[in-house]
Structure 1
Amino acid sequence: MVADRLWRWSLAGQAIALQILVITLIVVAGSGLALLDARQDGDAAAEAQVLGIATSLADSPSTAQAIIDGDATATLQPVTELVRRHTDIAFITIMAPDRTRYTHTDPSQIGGRYLGNIEPALHGESFTEVYTGTLGPSIRAVVPVHDADGRVIGLVAAGILQQSLAERWRQQWSVIAAVGAGALAVSLVGVWGIRRRLLRQTRGLRPDELRVMYDHHDAILHAVSEGLIVLDRNGVVLVNDEARRLLALGPGPVSVADLPEFLQAADPGVRDELHVTDERVLVVNRARVPDSGSEVVTVRDRTELQGALGELSSLQVLADSLRAQAHESANKLHTVITMVEMGRPAEAVAVATRELELSQRLVDRLSEAVSEPALVALLLGKTAQADERGIALSVTEDTQLPADVALTGQELVTVLGNLIDNAMDACDRDDPWVEVTVTQDADALRIIVADSGTGMDADEFTRAQRRGYSTKTGDGHGLGLALVAQVVHRHGGTLSTDAGYGSVVSVVIGR
């Protein structure tokens, strides 16, 4: 039950619970180790103390002299008791090699036999041991007393009761406990701060919820049909599969320098901005993520839609042209009927056939010279559209396009339709004319559109190809020349302009 409730906690709750458990165990274990270390240090210090005291007394000439003179108890008992009281140890016993005590803390024990191990000292070695004697368990040191000839004539034993050591050790408990409690309190405060930060960053979600969210997030990134790029102050954080496809990005990490130029500069807030690359027409949206400094960029492919829109625009132009011609034909028909009613049939026939002959002659010439039906329809439609706008649009006699064309019908419509539209928009209003030439020989396909306008300088012409620049709106959203440049660059052709004879834009695509 406890485990089930724990797994229902948020990630922050589970992490903090585990941290509190680990910190508590560390503090408790550390305090225990500190107590054990303090005890071991106390025992080592006690051994060193009693060994030092016993050695000092054994090396004192007065000790050996008193044993030799036979008045060891009278001479040494006051001295050992004085030293014992000043050093706060349990006992100092001086004895003969046969264990007979000369001195003892309890005078009644003098003359009795010393309890404990003395064999190493009888062989001239000092040593320490833990032994239970008449006063209780103690840590004691035994040091031999030598005469002038180096013989062992007595032994000095000094000891500290383990009970006294335990009391000293217990006095350190409060300090160690206070330090441990302080460390635990500081750790818990830090853990609480971490918990609040984790709650903010994980939105209070559980680990399984975060895992499911990540799995869904990863699946969506791979399945979504829009390109998605996430940028932050350090560069590109994320690029999904569709974005790599649309922007021609290779596998592996992506840097800002790898992105197209229009994505390298931060520009949040962009909505449905059109950009033309060498292969595609892209719709870009950008938005900043609140409180994170990150920016999300979405990229949609509009290439096929743009082509369909171009074809639809051509059909619309043709439909408008047919509608205008129908309206004009109705006017002419009324005129012819009226002239017949007036009894002037010969003149009525002349009026009826004059415009029909001109129109039919243009249709026949274009149909014979141009083998692409879509291009014929486009030129006829643009001619009618230009006539409505009062612009003289002419297709030169040099225009000749065989069946084997370097561009598809849709590409021809895109290139020529946009060039003619730009020319009609840019021609001089006082002398509006547009001239179109489309030829193809063994070397290349050439499309030339001239108009009576002033044209664009080199920088403006380059900018128009790169960003869909528009001289009409000035807002950077024109696509005409950019779409033309896209088709031309795709086929390895050239796009140039010349202002020597009005404004002339030329497209050359090698075969």
Structure 2
Amino acid sequence: MRLHIKLMLGISLLIILIGSIFELSFTTMMENTLKQEKGEQALSVAQSISHIPEIKEAFLTDQPSLIIQPIAEKIRKQVRAEFIVIGNRAEIRYSHPNSDRLGQKMVGGDNEQVFEGQSIISESVGTLGPSLRGKAPIYLNGQVIGVVSVGYLQDDIKKEITYVRRQMFLVTFFILIGGIFAAYFISRNMRKATFGLEPKEIAWMYQEKHAILESIHEGIIAIDVFGKITVVNETAHKILQVDHMLRGRRVDELLENMHLLAVVHTGKAEYDQEYIIHGEVYLVNTIPILSKRGIVIGAVASLRNKSELSDLLQELSHVRAYAEGLRAQTHEYSNKLYTLLGLIQLGSYKEAIDYISKEVDGTQSLIHFLMKEIPDPILAGFILGKKSLASEMKIDFTIDASSSFKDLPVEIDREKVVTIIGNLVNNAFEAVRESGKEAKEVTLFLTDLGKELIIEVEDNGVGIDLQNSESIFEKGFTTKNTNANAGIGLSLVQNAISELGGYITFTSDKDKNTVFTAAIPKRRGI
């Protein structure tokens, strides 16, 4: 059943229930009140009649009813009583609304207390039906000589109560109609506020949103227009290093100078803003939260550790380097196969054999050298790929014959070493290509002698201007003509070396050569 139908039925049943309880309570109270008022009224009239001298004196005559009946009927009509009956000690009627019943005995059996001198209110059944009576004794010379009984039929009281009940029913009916309309408009507004979703759907979406927020690796913080945190996931708690619930607290109490409130005020999103939290650099993306009418009702920020992005960039760089190496190797061997095909087609079999022997000897020699001096398969394969790339680019890439990287500790991250070598070699390749020199030479030297691992890359490129010597390791700094991935390589090298606890230096002669030397301690603290 839909929410608006439930709401309308619920409000309707509530109004009916409240109306029924109110009607029952009110009519019960009214019935008791009417009986009390009528009883007191009847008693008051009876007491007043019992003190009329003419009525007392009439009891001494031979035919009292001739005097008492006109007086009683006149008073009955004035007070709108159902009956006024006056009788003697023998309960013989001297007055009655029906004159045919004069002289007959009174009916009801409730005169004993009156003859004892008491005024009472009673309910009894007389000749006219059930009635509410007020009875008072008539005294003469200190003796009770008769009784006055003034009554109102209970049917008349019930008629008054029935009339009130009808009025109450009409009021309840109109309240019910009004309640149904109110329920309709309330449910309609609720549907608009909840975008037509049912409570079960809202609950399911809340659980779904919570699960999504907790599955996101980034920290998520959302605020309202007053700067109070409305949504925060567990990752954000870990980033902020708090173990208590942050929802409801002001964001500026936790994060100073963060642009969440500024985005709420301006309504403009901000992307890739750097923010330092507990010594860690985070990239923050902040966007405003808009209502259906386009009004800013809050803002949400995502926090991602910058080092994670750097690691990802390094991995992508490695993948790209592997791909380039494979592509270069494929291209190089395609050219060699075409050469062999041409020699065979020309019948120059001896030259073809010599060409194959030369290539095999050169490749096998390099592979044998790498397997012996650089036994780590990741580094050896990476260097072999760079060798193929250099061959395609017409660059003389040489691995120094005295190189040795046998003592590479297990705890040193190979990926970071590959990042250092790869980016230094790539920069060297770019330098010699831009130099315009006919001889393009790059040399790689690796050694593990002593307490440090030494990585040295030398090129005969354009060199480095001394005025840029302090800026080359900054992210985004470049002197290249292209913007593709420029200004990233050396910053990645610097970060990797810093994480390994090492350092990097360089020397450069303008238009001659440049040498980058990286030193990495084999053991931390050495």
Q: TM-score, normalized by length of structure 1?
A: 0.62
Assess if the C-alpha contact under 8 Å between 1:282 and 1:303 holds in 2: no
Deviations 1:334-383 (A, max 9, x none): 9xxxxxxxxxxxxxxxxxxxx99xx99xx99x99999575xx76xx78x9
Describe the SS at the equivalent of 1:294.
Answer: strand
Judging changes above 3 Å, is the alpha-carbon distance between structure 1 residues 297 and 15 closer, same or farther for their aligned structure 2 residues?
Answer: farther
Q: Is the 8 A contact 1:285 1:299 kept in 2?
A: no
Task: Give deviations 1:175-212, integer Å, cap 9, x for gaps.
Answer: 32332222122212211111101211233333433332
Structure 2: stretches of 5+ with no match in the other structure: 318-418, 480-487, 502-525
Rounded to whole Å, the distance in 2 between the matches of 1:328 and 1:102 is: 142
CA distance 1:327–1:89, change in 2 (3 Å) = closer
Give, as a single letter, the amino acid of the residue that structure 2 aligns with 1:276.
Y
Cα distance change on mapping 1:112 and 1:302 into 2, 3 Å: same
Is 1:196 aligned to residue 252 of structure 2?
A: no
**Aligned pair in 2 of structure 1 residues 148, 264: CA closer, same or farther (>3 Å)?**
farther
Residue type of the alignment partner of 1:322: A
The residue type equivalent to 1:255 in the other structure is R
Unaligned 5+ segments in structure 1 are: 1-8, 335-354, 396-414, 426-477, 492-510
- In 2, Cα distance between the equivalents of 1:152 and 1:96? 9
Alignment pair present for 1:248 and 2:241: yes
Q: Identity percentage over the alignment? A: 22
SS at match of 2:473: helix
Q: Structure 1 counterpart of 2:261, which letter?
A: A
Cα drift, residue 33 of structure 1: 4.1
- Correspondent of 1:165 among 153, 157, 164: 157
Tell me if structure 2 keeps the 8 A contact 1:281–1:306.
no
Matched AA of 1:256: V
Task: Give 2:116's aligned residue.
Answer: 123
Partner of 2:299: 295
Q: CA deviation at 1:92?
A: 0.5
1:133 aligns with 2:126: yes
- C-alpha displacement at 1:259, in angstroms? 3.5
Q: Trace 1:149-160 onto structure 2 (pairs within 5 A).
A: 149=142, 151-160=143-152
Q: Which secondary structure does the structure 2 equivalent of 1:124 belong to?
A: coil
> CA offsets, 1:156-190, max 9 Å, x none?
10101122223333333443233222212221221
Superposed, 1:103-502 pairs within 5 Å as 103-116=95-108, 117-149=110-142, 151-234=143-226, 235-253=228-246, 254-260=249-255, 261-267=257-263, 268-277=267-276, 278-291=279-292, 293-306=297-310, 309=313, 318-323=424-429, 326=432, 331=437, 371=452, 373=454, 388=463, 390-391=465-466, 417-418=473-474
Partner Cα separation in structure 1 for residue 220 and residue 439 of structure 2: 60
- The correspondence of residues 18-57 of structure 1 with structure 2, limited to 5 A, is 18-57=10-49
- Give the Å deviation of 1:118: 1.0
Equivalent AA in structure 1 for residue 130 of structure 2: P
CA deviation profile, 1:294-342 (whole Å, cap 9, x unmatched): 33333333322235648968667523442256559994859xxxxxxxx
For 2:200, give the aligned amino acid: D
User: Please, which moves more after superposition, 79-88 or 249-258?
Assistant: 249-258
C-alpha distance in structure 1 between counterparts of 2:106 and 2:195, whole Å: 76
Q: For residues 456-509 of structure 1, give each alpha carbon's deviation from its aligned partner in whole angstroms, at most 9, with x where no partner exists.
A: xxxxxxxxxxxxxxxxxxxxxx9x99xx9xxx9xx9xxxxxxxxxxxxxxxxxx
Distance in 2, Cα, partners of 1:97 & 1:224: 102
Q: CA deviation at 1:93?
A: 0.9
Flag the 1:321–1:180 CA change in 2: closer, same or farther, 3 A.
closer
* In structure 1, C-alpha distance between the alignment counterparts of 2:81 and 2:268, rounded to whole Å: 85
Distance 1:78 1:302 in 2: 113
Choose which of 27, 51, 58 in structure 2 pairs with 1:66.
58
Tell me how far apart the structure 2 counterparts of residues 166 and 63 of structure 1 sit (CA, whole Å): 33
CA drift of 1:124 comes to 1.9
Deviation at 1:69, TM superposition (A): 5.5
**1:418 aligns to what SS in structure 2?**
coil
Q: What aligned pairs does 1:9-20 form with structure 2 within 5 A after superposition?
A: 9-20=1-12
Partner-residue secondary structure (3-state), 2:280: coil
Aligned residue pairs total 374
The answer to whether the 8 A contact 1:222-1:242 is kept is yes
Task: Tell which has more relative contact order, 1 or 2 (C-alpha 8 A, sep 6+).
Answer: 1
- Equivalent residue letter for 2:466: I
Distance 1:69 1:287, change over 3 A: same
3-state secondary structure, aligned to 2:197: coil
Offset, 1:290: 2.2
Call closer, same or farther: CA 1:394–1:35 in 2, change over 3 Å: closer
Q: CA shift at 1:79, angstroms?
A: 1.1
CA contact (8 A) 2:252 2:258 kept: no
Q: Indicate the RMSD between aligned Cα atoms, in angstroms.
A: 4.2
Equivalent pair of 1:229/1:243 in contact (CA under 8 Å) = yes
